[in-house]
Amino acid sequence: MQQSPVVMTDSFSNLSLAEPLARAVAEMGYETMTPIQAQAIPVVLTGRDVMGAAQTGTGKTAAFSLPLLQRLLKHENSSTSPARHPVRALVLLPTRELADQVAQQVKLYAKYTNLRSAVVFGGMDMKPQTLELKRGVEVLVATPGRLLDHIEAKNAVLGQVEYVVLDEADRMLDIGFLPDLQRILSYLPKQRTTLLFSATFSPEIKRLANSYLKDPVTIEVARPNETASTVEQHFYSVTDDDKRRALKQIVRQRGITQAFVFVNSKLGCARLARSLEREGLKTTALHGDKSQDERLKALAAFKAGEVDLLVATDVAARGLDIKDVPAVFNFDVPFNAEDYVHRIGRTGRAGASGLAVTFVSGSDGRLVADLEKLLKKKVDLEAIEYEDDRPRGRINDGRRAWREAGELGDPRDALDAPRPREREREREARPSRPAAAPRDPFFDQPYQAPATEQPPAWEQGAKPAPSRVSANIKSKRKVPALFKAQ
DNA sequence: AAAAAAC
């Protein structure tokens, strides 16, 4: 590995980009390169493999697409291929919205060239994508699943790919994506340039990533996993019941005009969005159980400022570039510490200031501890002074079950609590408990099946009633313990 | 304790 060369100037005009590219860049109003651009562009221009870590919102897309287009222009493909425009550069992303966004940017940069680009992702009709692929494109932007579909349908031929970019590379290399990714890579020539970019790289992923790179140049503009210094971060101790009221209060007190609100589950996402909407806040939900049409509409409405709160799962955590979003709420502490860095990267973009608020409830001790380890910083838990005096919610501190909220303890303390087996031993050591209360005799009667079994309504031709939340969300409502299988 | 990515 080798350090990137020192660049003395950071103006796009000093890059000697091909005229059509320079024109597009100028037209977009870009003059000065961001640090990641200044470091990555000259390296990518040499054709070397790159592993690039830079904070989100600092122009990574231009950092790889401009030099890539430049190389495609400079080195005309000399091979006699069946297609007149074989795919020469492939850009892979972990979400459809991100693929869409990157594809739009690539189109803008390539506007004055004769290079063709296209984007393919799931949830959309195959046919228009197929047509575009058959006509031939040099630059293909894609999500993994749909790309494999096109490969297997022989719509996309990747035998002449010279450049592969894995954006959000750590996500692309994680266990959920790796099999698809490996299959895609198996269709590509071994002789090629591979570029990996992300804001976060765990040590394990870094090692894995290196096995896909040949003699790479590592570019680290910021310490990996670092959050932008322009983002003011707060962690509030709340009960699960009080999160919504805390959210509304902070939005009002700080005069927040627009915010991302991240939650950990699709169902929670739909529910929270609905509840906030009912309370008169302009809210929309974005998660993977929505149709692609709804997803794109939700994002567009948020972008256009028609919606103030975008309640989203981690589908929106990475890369989405929406200007001037002043705040991000982590309604739930993210399961992966890395995702915290990505989520709060939705605000404070391009040097702007931003606010990141995370709600920490009783069972989040482990997640907060993980986060502290990643950020190499102690998290300072703050209390919220509620304006209203409705009763507070109850605390589930993960070790003592529910107790009334008097004062909020530090959930990290629960990590020092005795482990289950030790707890078991403690219980055994205790004097025997008082006799159990007498049971309701009803539950002791054996179950009596009805005399005639009626087939369920849906088998009689009736349509199942749509779920109250959203027709395409599977209900995850808990079965009452009494009826649970043993 | 989940989400994402194909039909």
Query: For strand B, is any atom closer than 7 Å to the CB of A236?
Result: no
- Residue A468: band (very low, low, confident or very high) from pLDDT cuts 50, 70, 90: very low
Q: Is the CB of A267 under 7 A from strand B?
A: yes
Q: Which of the 294-333 residues on chain A come under 7 Å of nucleic strand B at their beta carbon?
A: 313-315
Closest nucleotide to A335: CA versus each C1': B2
How far, CA to CA in Å, does A131 sit from each of A124, A127, A151, A383? 13, 6, 14, 57
Candidates 3.40.50.150, 3.30.2090.10, 3.40.50.300, 3.40.640.10; correct CATH number of A12-220?
Answer: 3.40.50.300
Given a cut of 80, whether residue A340 has pLDDT beyond it is yes
Protein residue with the closest CA to the C1' atom of nucleotide B3:
A314
Indicate yes or no: strand B within 7 A of the C-beta of A144. Answer: yes
* DSSP-derived 3-state class of residue A224: coil
Beta pairing partners, A168: none
Is the per-residue pLDDT at A199 higher than 80?
yes
- E strands in A17-154: 50-53, 89-92, 117-120, 139-142
Q: What are phi and psi of A202, to 5 degrees?
A: -75, 160
User: Is the pLDDT score of A258 beyond 50?
Assistant: yes
**Pick from A186, A198, A99: which is nearest to A139 by CA?**
A99
Nearest of A221, A220, A272 to residue A244 by alpha carbon: A272
A45 touches strand B (CB under 7 A): no
Residue A363 Cβ < 7 Å to strand B: yes
Are the CB atoms for A108 and A85 separated by under 8 Å? no
pLDDT in tens, A382-412: 999 998 777 666 665 544 444 444 456 778 8
Return d(Cα A342, Cα A94) in angstroms, integer: 13
Whether residue A343 contacts residue A314, with contact meaning beta carbons closer than 8 Å, is answered with yes
Distance A396 CA to B3 C1' (A): 24
Listed residue (A88, A212, A80, A106) closest to A157, CA to CA: A88
Confidence of residue A225 (pLDDT cuts 50, 70, 90): confident
Whether the per-residue pLDDT at A313 is higher than 50: the answer is yes
Sequence spans of domains, chain A: 12-220, 231-414
A12-220 and A231-414 have identical folds: yes
Nearest Cα residue to A52 out of A151, A195, A246: A195
Distances (CA, A) of A9 to A35, A164, A219, A350: 11, 28, 17, 19
What's the CA–C1' distance between A303 and B2, in Å?
Answer: 26
User: pLDDT confidence of A33, banded at 50, 70, 90?
Assistant: very high
CA–C1' gap, A405 and B1, in angstroms = 22
A392 is near strand B: CB distance < 7 Å: no
Torsion angle in degrees (nearest 10) through CA of A194, A198, A202, A204: -20
Mean pLDDT of A8-35: 91
**Which amino acid residue lies closest to nucleotide B5, measuring CA to C1'?**
A145
Enumerate the β-bridge partners of residue A309. A259, A283
pLDDT band at A415 (very low <50, low <70, confident <90, very high): confident
Nearest alpha-carbon partner for A199 in A99, A47, A51: A51
* Strand B positions within 7 A of protein Cβ atoms: 1-7
For chain A residues 157-216, those near strand B by a CB cutoff of 7 A are 174-177, 180
Q: Which nucleotide is nearest to A268 (CA to C1')?
A: B2
pLDDT tens-digit profile of A49-65? 999 998 777 789 999 99
Residue A77 Cβ < 7 Å to strand B = no
First and final CA of chain A: distance in angstroms? 56
What was the pLDDT predicted at A432? 44
Residue among A93, A304, A265 at smallest CA distance from A285? A265
Select from 2.60.40.10, 3.60.9.10, 3.40.50.300, 2.60.40.1510 the CATH code of A231-414: 3.40.50.300
Q: How far is the CA of A231 from the C1' of B1 (A)?
A: 28
CB A72 within 8 A of CB A139: yes
